[in-house]
Every structure is written in C-alpha cells, then in structure tokens.
C-alpha cells in the first residue's frame, strides 16, 4: 500500500510537471507552417479547393445557430480569405497569412470549448461535402486543435 501510494505520487508529480511545460509553450504564431503536410494540401485541392471549402464552411457557420452569432456581423469575405491563407500556410503551401494572431482576433467574443467544437463540427461537415478523405481532414484538424488555447476564453484562462 505504501509503495503504491508512493508510485501514485511520483506519477502525479510527473503529470503536473508535464502540464506546466505544456502551458509554458502557448503558441502565439497564427499559422506555423508544416511543409510535410503538402500532400494534405493536394488532398484539399490546393488553394482553389480551400477557396471552395471556405464558401461552404461560411454558409455552414451562418446556418448553425451555435456559430452564427460569431460570423453574421463579420466581414465574411475577409474571414474566408484569411482562413484560406491560414490553412494554406499550415499545409505547407506558398501563401502568406495576413490576419492577426489567434488570440487577438478572437478576444472580442466570448468563446467556450463548446463553441470551438461546434465550429470543428461545421468544418467537418463541409470537408465531408467536399469529399476530402477523413485521414487528410484529421491531419489538418490536428494542427488546428491546439489553437483552442488562444481561442477559447470562457471561462477566462488561468
């Protein structure tokens, strides 16, 4: 029992130190590039594919009551353009991201984890409609998911 308690404590201490490390490296960069994901960009149909995806995605965001309030008063064409740039950069394409960083561009809204996931679901629906293979979708989502730390602000970050 004593040995067990000690090993549990050591395990916990290791977990906590990991988490402190993870918290320290908050990625402020809006769109770190991943040249190795170039094949995924091809699976999305390159920049024209991303442009078509964003048209469908924005329509989906405006149709879904969970995400509509965040986009109905936005400059939708600008948002779509910047999403194309951002996804293109992430997927190793020859683009330049011209938008603000993730934290600044979202701080005007109250955004929960549920809002963040709702946007992911709308994006997944759009990617399905565009016929993008599930595994390619997940390779992009794996790069977008950590942005939750800069986008979700309710409850306020510790």
| Interface with other proteins (CB under 8 A), residue from 10, 13, 59, 145 | 145
- d(C-alpha 13, C-alpha 19), whole Å: 10
Residues 6+ apart with CB under 8 A from 155: none
Number of H helices, E strands in the chain: 9, 0
| Interface with other proteins (CB under 8 A), residue from 39, 48, 98, 138 | 138
Q: How far is the CB of 148 from other proteins (least distance, A)?
A: 5
As to burial, measured by CB atoms within 10 angstroms (0-12 exposed, 13-18 middle, 19+ buried), residue 84 is buried
Instruction: Identify which of residues 104 and 134 has a Cβ nearer to other proteins in the complex.
Output: 134
Instruction: Identify which of residues 11 and 59 has a Cβ nearer to other proteins in the complex.
Output: 11
As to burial, measured by CB atoms within 10 angstroms (0-12 exposed, 13-18 middle, 19+ buried), residue 64 is middle
- 6 binding other proteins? (CB under 8 A): no
Taking CB under 8 A as the criterion, which residues in 83-122 touch other proteins? 112-118, 120-121
Contact 152, 116 (CB under 8 A): yes
Sign of torsion over alpha carbons 40, 43, 48, 53: negative
| Interface with other proteins (CB under 8 A), residue from 9, 11, 28, 63 | 11
- Which residues sit at the interface with other proteins, rule CB under 8 A? 1, 4, 7-8, 11-12, 15-16, 18-19, 21-22, 25, 27, 112-118, 120-121, 124, 134-135, 138-139, 141-143, 145-146, 148, 154-155
């Amino acid at each position: 029992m004593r040995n067990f308690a000690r090993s549990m404590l050591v395990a916990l201490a290791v977990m906590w130190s990991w988490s402190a490390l993870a918290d320290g490296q908050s990625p402020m960069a809006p769109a770190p590039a991943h040249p190795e994901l170039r094949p995924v960009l091809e699976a999305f149909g390159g920049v024209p594919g991303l442009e078509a995806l964003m048209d469908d995605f924005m329509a989906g965001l405006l149709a879904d009551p969970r995400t509509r309030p965040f986009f109905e008063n936005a400059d939708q064409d600008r948002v779509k353009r910047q999403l194309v740039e951002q996804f293109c950069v992430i997927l190793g394409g020859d683009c330049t991201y011209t938008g603000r960083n993730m934290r600044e561009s979202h701080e005007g809204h109250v955004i929960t984890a549920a809002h963040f996931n709702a946007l992911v679901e709308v994006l997944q629906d759009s990617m399905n409609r565009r016929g993008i293979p599930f595994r390619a979708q997940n390779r992009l989502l794996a790069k977008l998911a950590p942005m939750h730390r800069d986008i979700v602000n309710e409850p306020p970050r510790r």
